[in-house]
Amino acid sequence: MNQVDYLRISLIDRCNFRCQYCMPEGTELDFIAPDNCLSAEELLTLLQAVFIPLGFSRFRLTGGEPLLRPDVVELVRAIACLPQVEDLSMTTNGFLLSRLAPDLYNAGLRRVNISLDSLDPQIFRQVVGGRSDRWTQVWAGIQAAHAVGFDPLKLNVVVIPGVNEHEVLDLAALSIERQWHIRFIEFMPIGNAGLFGERGWVPSEELRQQIRDRWGLTASQVQGNGPADVFQIPGAKGTIGFISQMSECFCDRCNRMRLSADGWLRPCLLNETGQLDLKTSLRSGVPLPELRNQVQHLLMLKPEINYKGRESGTAGASYTRTMSQIGG
């Protein structure tokens, strides 16, 4: 089991998209009231007094859509200034990034993952909902992030059978001329169990074979902080990664936990066992050393939670929270 040193922090559960794999149309979501979200002060307290002392040094800001949080730039600056932070990154849908990219970079953010599930504006609209011009705005955000110097710049693609799987080669080609890193993610049952049951997922090995047949594919010398298996088209400037949580179990090398916007600490994405309500404990005056002990105990249990929860999580399990509420 890898050392668990990576915390994904959801800043907000709200989003300006309604992606099929996360918040499908027709789903009624009970969004967290702002007062029930961790404040900036509370979040920084947990980082400095609980997580960093336990060895966490890598942090990713997620949502919902993290750029909807009004104090996101200030939060980035505050976290980036902590001396123990070795890596700070963000996952965003990119819609607001063209405006915020310079401020985020100047605040200390250096890595960003942007969701780009299609190069076709109409298919993109089908996946994310809303108006057809959203693709143009997201593409502008990608260009802005590239221009200010985010490196690596990663593009996340959730592959949905019958929707965007035919675009795999076109998306992979984005890594050839640019130092962009494309990440293909297997569709999961969390967020839209109905669509998952109807469509299933495309195993990563099938995608790799398509790319091998077109260009060839070699293992990359550069591996990331997470579970992606990283490859490279020969001669390409960027890389191609595959996150294969459905077809290829990587529980034994999981190095992360997830903190929701309302302060629930979750040790495993596919298993709801063992969550801690840190916000309520913090606001109730539970001493910080006691909170740290609780998190340390959960870290010790994480391997068992991962392994025992995996099979039920991939075989029709139900989840009380969607992907947007968990933080992805």
pLDDT band at 312 (very low <50, low <70, confident <90, very high): very low
Report pLDDT digits (tens) over 239-283: 999 988 777 776 777 888 999 999 999 988 767 778 999 999 999
The residue whose two tokens read 């929707």 is 163
3-state secondary structure 125-144: HHHHCCCCCHHHHHHHHHHH
Q: Is residue 196 part of a domain?
A: no
The residue that leads in pLDDT, 199 or 53, is 53
Report pLDDT digits (tens) over 137-193: 999 999 999 999 998 899 999 999 989 999 999 999 999 999 999 999 988 766 656
Domain hosting 103: range is 6-175+255-326
Report pLDDT digits (tens) over 30-62: 788 989 999 999 999 999 999 999 999 999 999
Q: Is residue 277 part of a domain?
A: yes
Cα first-last separation, the chain: 21
* Average pLDDT of span 206-227: 87
Q: Is residue 193 part of a domain?
A: no
Per the CB < 8 A criterion, the answer to whether 152 and 111 are in contact is yes
How many distinct structural domains can be found in the chain? 1
* Domain CATH number, residue 70: 3.20.20.70
Q: Is residue 248 part of a domain?
A: no
What pLDDT, on the 0 to 100 scale, is given for residue 302? 84
Say how far apart CA 268 and CA 245 lie, in whole Å.
Answer: 12
The residue that leads in pLDDT, 314 or 120, is 120
* Average pLDDT of span 132-139: 90
Global pTM value: 0.90
Between 72-80 and 97-107, two packed helices, what is the crossing angle to 10 degrees?
30
What pLDDT, on the 0 to 100 scale, is given for residue 54? 98
Per the CB < 8 A criterion, the answer to whether 90 and 101 are in contact is no
Q: Is residue 202 part of a domain?
A: no
Q: Is residue 75 part of a domain?
A: yes
pLDDT over 50 (residue 68): yes
What pLDDT, on the 0 to 100 scale, is given for residue 190? 65
The closest alpha carbon to 52, from 9, 90, 1, 91, belongs to 9
Query: Cβ neighbours of residue 171 under 8 Å, at least 6 residues apart?
Result: 116, 119, 155, 157, 182, 184
Say how far apart CA 56 and CA 7 lie, in whole Å.
Answer: 7
Residue 136 CA, chain-centre distance (Å), reads: 22
Tokens representing 213 are: 């047949």
